[in-house]
Chain A
Amino acid sequence: MVEHAYLIPLLPFLVSLVILFFFDEDAHSPYAPYLGIATMFWCLVQSLVIFHQASSGAVHPWPYEGSWEWFSFAADSAGKGFSAAMPIGILIDGAAAVMLVVVTLVSLLVQVYSLGYMHGDPRFKRYYAYLSFFTASMLGLVVSNNLLVTFACWELVGVSSYLLIGFWFEKPAPAYASKKAFMTTKLGDCGLYVALLLIWAKFGSFKISMLAVSAATPGVLTPLAATAIGLGILCGAAGKSAQWPLFIWLPDAMEGPTPVSALIHAATMVAAGIYLVAKTYFIYAASPVAMEAVAWIGLITALLAATMALVAYDIKRVLAFSTVSQLGFMLCALGCGGYTAGLFHLTTHAFFKALLFLGAGSVIHSVHTNDMRQMGGLSKKMPVTFGTMFVATLAIAGIWPFAGYFSKDMILERVYGHNQVMFGLLTFAALLTAFYMFRMIFLTFVGDDRDHERHHHAHESPWVMLWPLCLLAFLSVVSGAALAHNGFFEHLVNYKLPEGLMTETLAPRLMPYAVTALVCGSIALSWFFYGRNDFTLAESLKARCSPIFSVLENRYGFDAIFLSLVAFSDRIAKFAFWFDSSVIDQFFVDGWGLITRICAELSGLFDNLFVDRTVDGFGGLSMDAGVLLRSLVTHGQVQEYLMYIAVAVSLFTILILSR
């Protein structure tokens, strides 16, 4: 099975094309979705088999690599050109095996869920084509053995997210949001692009297995180069995974259909950044500086996003900020040398975050609003949604025995070992997480209904939407414990850092208990503010700390910075064009034309006044001479002519003879 892993990205890709070109645009035709779902199901089965084989050690050699030639091109080595091959192929290691399952599973569930959620949309089939394409790009990114192909898939992920975030493009907000997402990630991609150029300059190859070997060879990769490459990749990852300061696109991306948000936040797009850092971990292993930068970017993001989530009222935005924050956790773990921990959290987070988004979609589907202030008391109306979302919230808050507990614990342990200040800050972010997640649950499902009209019409969603929720809830409960059991995950997904790179301090044994106790306290606090149907305390707090609230609501002004950056570049563009048209074109080029014309006029004038006059003067002169001569021959007698001839002949004769 593993040797045919290339089918996993290839099939959904082909299917998306088939759907796009061969199916009718019919809002109620079920064939396009069924084809997409069936394909994804097959991919899931294949991924599971690969996962099983990988975890049972049945794949030899491990990690598995299959490579073909994509094209060959002219390359250089020491000033000499030669023909180099660019490979395309698959590289299945532990991380890839896990990611394959995560991506295909979440995508499958999202597609099933969308059958209900997107039912009757006029562009139903195109939606499924895009979903398949999106998943295919992500899967390609996961399995590729060549960084250039990875980058290609990375960009395709970007463009498919552009199409899906802007799926309802008739409304201005999604159209704007999709552009913003694309541009912001593209900004990060500039760094990644330069990193790729550097990698080629240093290694002369993009093949990951080869790069890993060369990077570990002493003397090939200087720390400076490794740092530059690492930071470049980090730029790209920060864009895609919505890390500080490029996280601004993610809240706006909520304009897309909610199942798409689930896919983006759980399995595809934002996971890509984390995964890329893990995939190029050998670079970071060679550069402690880049590693530290990864950790701090992750930490800053985790904190900022968590605080922003505290004050959001849009249910999807709360979840969006929570994703940003959780991705920060993962990046922080990776930066602290916690390769396993980061990817473990990526896995468990995929399940409960997909669940949370799909649950939120179910709520929105039912009450037709995103604003939690108009919800409340929905638990009675939507018991399944409430139950599953509650499970996910427990998981993300990190309560034992839910999945998040294990992965978050692993991260915190790792961070503690690296830097205790970071640990303190990250634990604080974890407490904030518990607080705002339960705030969301309380505001949405508990207490009295605040909008009777909406509450009255609220209803549980159809089962096609609910059973994906149930399955994800099941995974949110068990996946953590199951994967952590006996170090299973650590055994499968691991990266051996070189000795001495990371200082190791073992966390105290009591640490998990202490953190759990604090989290429970945070949940209680959240209940105190939002769970008692009495918001006076929250309101008074808000009134008293309104400057802080407005800073948080304005996302620390990062959006404003982004907008001013856009305005600034527009102004530069305007200036450049003014310079082009006025200075270069009108002044210099047309100026030359003008000078040439003036010269022409002048020379024309000179010609008329001087040259021509001279010519005319000569004409006049000869005329005058003629007139003068004519006066000599006024009589016109033959004798006179004869006399002149005789005189002339005699003169000539004398002249000739005298020589």
Chain B
Amino acid sequence: MPILTLITFLPIAGALVILCLPKEAEKPIQITALVSAGLSFVLSLCVLYGFDRAQPLMQFMENADWIPSMHVHYALGVDGLSLPLVLLTTFVTVLALISSLGIKERIKEYFFWFLVLEAGMIGVFEALDLVLFYVFWEMTLVPMYFLIGIWGGPKKEFAAIKFFLYTLAGSVFMLLAILAVYFNSTPNTFDMLALMHQHVNWSARFQILVFLGFYFGFAIKIPAFPFHTWLPLAHVEAPTAVSVILAAVLLKMGVYGLMRISYGMLPLGFAWFIKPLIIIATINIVYGALCAMAQTDMKKMVAYSSVNHMGYCLLGIAGLTATGFQGAVMQMITHGIITGSLFLLVGVIYDRAHTRDISAFGGLAVRVPTYAGLMFLACFASLGLPGLAGFISEFFCFLGAFQAWKVYAAVSVLGVLATAAFFLRMMEKVFLGPFNNKWAGLTDMNARELASIVPLTVMTVALGVYPKWALDIMKETLIYMINTPR
């Protein structure tokens, strides 16, 4: 059974079904969306079940000719690097869809685009052919544009077009790099696995150029300083569930690309860029946290905290160590889970209060204890409290980077401090202190909100207390990546 294809295209099938339904049939549309995404999630769990953790190479591979004249294949596969991300995508998408049940307008288009988006994201992580990779990569762009541009906030059009153009600019360079790789490989191929062995024929200069082409595409997605400014805007304007997907999955495509393609195919280019990369990582961490500190809008604060947290991924990668890689992949997963729940939680308060201004609240912990509890947990997880998911991944990133870059890693620790500062200040201003009577009518979380957030909270605790099973999935592949002679 081509299980990866099923995982990827079940959402598309759901989207097509939705397209055929009349737009008044809101319930069937929602059910179709949930069922197709849910099935996709279940299937990805089946892959996890059948996944051999001791095996570092690609598994569940599928391969078929697609455009034979150009040697383009339809090739899918997962290993310890991509499987966790596929799982994250299917898991978070289901929860985001649950939270989207509150969407009231243009339901049909919303769920249609959402499912197309999911297929694109899953495909990026599974593709083993550069053309296929590029197609999936671009496939995420259009749904995102519509999801922000139609269901977003007051400045949604501007945010959507900015997001679209900015990322498209990056992808153009990526496309150039892909073509460069194709024409310089013997025999000409887009096969990512085959391309991993081509670098011996490539000069350092060529590798650096190609690296920069790819890096431009990935850095915008990650987002790495200074290409990050589309992110706060897009997050603030996007509807809650789209913010969740954006932070939890879409950013990871950049880091994934960096690890899979830049590191795997272009060792010389990567080695050349390693110093700038550690500097960028440090800037992302410290500067992102500082920017978050200056925010008054909760959502924008969380958005900047994403810049900070993706910096940890870069930090781990820049160490070029197995520990650092482990930290980076783990950080992608934990950031997806934690920041996903943070965005959902901010959405909960915004739905009720129609404001996200930190200083507009006060003392809410008395009025909405469940909400406050979940928010506290998510915030503490995000600031790296041990026992919750963020700590281990963050620590591995530091541990991996420290072996190569002592000073940069030590400076980056300041980012951890600043992260604590802005989260604590937010908690104090919103939840503690005298109760602001303006919010006397505030209600605690409802069943739909709980259903979308509690699974993430559970995962946050589970991964923090017992990270073993998550680490085991990725461990062998990452060790293999580091140990492959280059």
Contacts and interface: CB of A to CB of B under 8 A. Distances in A.
A580 to B, nearest CB: 5
Contacts of A159: 380, 385
A51 B257 CA distance: 56
Contacts of B399: 197, 200
A82 interface: yes
B478 A576 contact: no
A584 B291 CA distance: 12
Contact of B291 (A80, A151, A156, A580): A580
B410 to A, nearest CB: 5
Contacts of A70: 466, 468
Contacts of B481: 81
Main secondary structure of the interface of A (DSSP, over half): helix
A179 B425 contact: yes
Interface string A150-194: 011101100100000010011110011011001100110010011
Contacts of B439: none
Contacts of B424: 179, 182-183
Interface in B393-431: 395-396, 398-400, 402-403, 406, 409-410, 413-414, 416-418, 420-421, 424-425, 428, 431
Given A73-B323, A81-B483, A584 B386 contact: no
| Max count, chain B CB within 10 A of own CB: residue among A76, A80, A82, A200 | A76
A74 B323 contact: yes
Contacts of A187: 417
B229 A76 contact: no
Contact of B428 (A80, A153, A179, A186): A179
Given A81-B479, A573-B291, A577-B295, A584 B229 contact: yes
Contacts of A186: 416-417, 420
Main secondary structure of the interface of B (DSSP, over half): helix
A576 B433 contact: no
| Max count, chain A CB within 10 A of own CB: residue among B321, B399, B435 | B399
A73 B428 contact: no
Contacts of A71: 466-468, 471-472
A580 B479 contact: no
Interface string A191-220: 001100110110000000000000000000
Contact of B229 (A82, A573, A589): A589
A179 B379 CA distance: 14
Interface string B341-369: 00000000000000000000001011000
Interface in B262-321: 287, 290-295, 321
Given A72-B471, A80-B483, A570-B293, A190 B478 contact: no
A80 B416 CA distance: 29
CB-CB nearest 6 A-B residue pairs: A81-B322, A152-B386, A74-B322, A573-B293, A577-B294, A175-B432
Interface of A: 70-76, 80-83, 148, 151-153, 155-156, 159, 166, 169-172, 175-176, 178-179, 182-183, 186-187, 190, 193-194, 197-198, 200-201, 569-570, 572-574, 576-577, 580-581, 584-585, 588-589, 593
25 contacts: A71-B466, A71-B472, A72-B471, A74-B322, A148-B395, A155-B387, A159-B385, A169-B363, A170-B433, A170-B434, A176-B428, A179-B425, A183-B420, A186-B420, A190-B416, A194-B409, A197-B402, A197-B409, A200-B402, A573-B293, A576-B287, A584-B229, A585-B229, A585-B233, A589-B166
Interface of B: 162, 165-166, 226, 229-230, 233, 287, 290-295, 321-323, 325-326, 363, 365-366, 380, 385-387, 391, 395-396, 398-400, 402-403, 406, 409-410, 413-414, 416-418, 420-421, 424-425, 428, 431-435, 466-468, 471-472, 474-476, 478-483
Given A193-B413, A573-B293, 12 more contacts: A74-B322, A74-B471, A74-B479, A74-B482, A81-B482, A81-B483, A82-B479, A200-B399, A569-B421, A573-B290, A576-B294, A577-B295
